[in-house]
Structure formats: structure tokens, C-alpha cells
Amino acid sequence: MIIKKAAFHKSSSKLSECVRSPLPEFGFIGRSNVGKSSLINMLCNNNKLAKTSASPGKTKLINHFIINDNWYIVDLPGYGYAKTSKVQKSEFETIIIEYCSKRENLVCLFILIDSRLPLQQIDAEFLQWCGEKEIPFAIIYTKADKNSKAELKKNLELIEEKLLLIFSELPNSFITSAEKIIGKDDILDFIEGYLK
């Protein structure tokens, strides 16, 4: 699939404010700074679409982008940003939990994980929660350009060992780099599979 058209539609601070539409949507979630907004821009060939930042906590709202006039990409706030105040933290968590567990037209949630780090506790907890809630998801490993191929392979093996403590089989996953444009076609083909 090719993304011919991508446009910002709406930012919402809670589920009840989200776009009312029956169109299928795909959410992008993960720890702050993992590269959600950059990945969305890479998929859409538009570096100005979703706002990115070197400092974590940039995306604070649920952002809907309408794609090819018939489906949505949703950029979600990052979880697990230590510097966020306690009140804000629980607000974010409520937004995320509400959206992920109740959004009816959410077809698949892409959970982004930094390919360079060991599986973080918060990622493991979130993955487990998605499994328990039976939320369809796939994993996207980000920033694959930052490590050598050997380091990447080794780290992904360690992550997969941890994943197998949570799941009986490995979830679908994609290795990506927004910087080097890696993984784009595989993700878009995967999405297309759902849209058919």
C-alpha cells in the first residue's frame, strides 16, 4: 500500500472527544521518546505531519491523522516519562487505558519498543495488559539504525526471551528506522491486510 494522502484531523484529550467515525484506525503507542511520531511521519512521507522532539513528553494528546481518506493513524501520548508530574502521569495513563481498551474502531495497536534497550518493565507490563485485554497488537522495534546488525540481533533475541515469559508465542513484530526508512513497506502491507 502507498500512502497518497495524509492529513491531521483532530487532537483529543480524552476518548469521548475523539473523532466520531466508523473508519478503521491503527494506534501507535510506546514509551516517551521511543519514536512514535517520527515513525508515523516516515510511514506518511511527511516529516511535518506529527510533531517530534528530542525531549520526551512531546505528544500529550490523542492525535488523529486521516490516511488516503479511508483509515486513521493515531499518535498517542508516550507512557513512562519520569519527569511528568504525578497528576499528569495518571491523566496520561487514564487517556491511554481508556483509548486502548474502549475505542471500538481500533483495529490494531502498534507498540513501539526501542531496539537498543533491554525490555523495560513498563513495556512488559503494558504488553501483558494488552494481552489480558485481548487488544490486537504488533510490536515495532525502533531506531534500528543506531546499532550494528550484530548488536541489534543480540538485543532482539534478549527481548524475545522476555516476551516468551509473557506470551506463548512471539507477537508479530517489525524492525524499523525512521531515520533510514527501514520497515515501512512491511508495516503498510500489514495494515493493508486489515483493510481488505
Distance, CA of 144 to CA of 147 (rounded, Å): 6
Q: Helices 86-102 and 121-133 meet at what angle, rounded to 10?
A: 30
User: Does 96 help bind ligand GTP (rule: CB under 6 A)?
Assistant: no
Beta partners for 64?
Answer: 10, 74
- In one-letter notation, the amino acid at residue 190 is F
Instruction: Output the smallest distance, CB 96 to Mg ion, in A.
Output: 13
**Touching Mg ion, residues 34-93 (CB under 5 A):** 36-37, 58-59
Nearer to ligand GTP, 54 or 87 (CB): 54
Beta partners for 182?
Answer: 177
**Touching ligand GTP, residues 108-127 (CB under 6 A):** none
* Chain position whose Cβ is nearest to ligand GTP: 78
User: Does 80 help bind ligand GTP (rule: CB under 6 A)?
Assistant: no
Distance, CA of 110 to CA of 135 (rounded, Å): 10
DSSP summary character for residue 113:
E
Instruction: Output the smallest distance, CB 84 to Mg ion, in A.
Output: 13
Binds ligand GTP by CB under 6 A, chosen from 1, 146, 175, 186: 146
Nearer to Mg ion, 63 or 115 (CB): 63
φ/ψ region of 143 (left if φ > 0, alpha if ψ in -120 to 50, else beta) reads left
Residue 1 burial (CB < 10 Å; 0-12/13-18/19+)? middle
* Residue 186 site contact among Mg ion, ligand GTP, none (CB < 5 to 8 Å, cut-off depends on kind): none
Nine cell digits for residue 34:
521511543
User: Does 145 help bind ligand GTP (rule: CB under 6 A)?
Assistant: yes
Closest CA to 26 of 118, 89, 145, 111: 111
Instruction: Output the smallest distance, CB 37 to Mg ion, in A.
Output: 3
**Touching ligand GTP, residues 9-68 (CB under 6 A):** 32-38, 52-54, 56-59
Q: How many residues bind Mg ion (CB under 5 A)?
A: 4
Binding site for ligand GTP (CB under 6 A): 32-38, 52-54, 56-59, 78, 142-143, 145-146, 177-179
Binding site for Mg ion (CB under 5 A): 36-37, 58-59
